[in-house]
Amino acid sequence: MNNPQVLEIIENLKGRRNYEEKKASKLGFNSLYAYIENKILKEKEAEAAKIVELSAPKEEVIEAKKPEKKSCSCC
């Protein structure tokens, strides 16, 4: 319990604290602290993945031209 960011989030929960505690226990976490810590870790990983995705070169998609459809069925 050394992470000040987690402690700050827990202090600011106020009315949502009971809800978050129930959610943490339902998801199998031993404490609210562990749940919030995991939540922050997942957010950081998502941001890192987004940055990597944006910095990776994109492949150009070349669409094949579709033949034009004729208006009548005999042609």
* Position 75 confidence tier, pLDDT thresholds 50, 70, 90: low
Asked if residue 24 belongs to a domain, the reply is yes
Mean pLDDT of 64-69: 72
Asked if residue 71 belongs to a domain, the reply is no
Contact 42, 27 (CB under 8 A): no
Most confident of 6-10, 51-55, 58-62: 6-10
Whole-angstrom distance, CA of residue 30 vs CA of residue 15: 21
Top pLDDT among 43 and 73 is at: 43
Asked if residue 67 belongs to a domain, the reply is no
Range of the domain at 37: 4-54
Q: Is the pTM of this model over 0.95?
A: no
Whole-angstrom distance, CA of residue 6 vs CA of residue 24: 14
Asked if residue 34 belongs to a domain, the reply is yes
Asked if residue 68 belongs to a domain, the reply is no
pLDDT digits (tens, 9 = 90+) for 2-51: 889 999 999 999 999 999 999 999 999 999 999 999 999 999 999 988 88
Dihedral Cα 8, 14, 16, 20, nearest 10 deg: 40
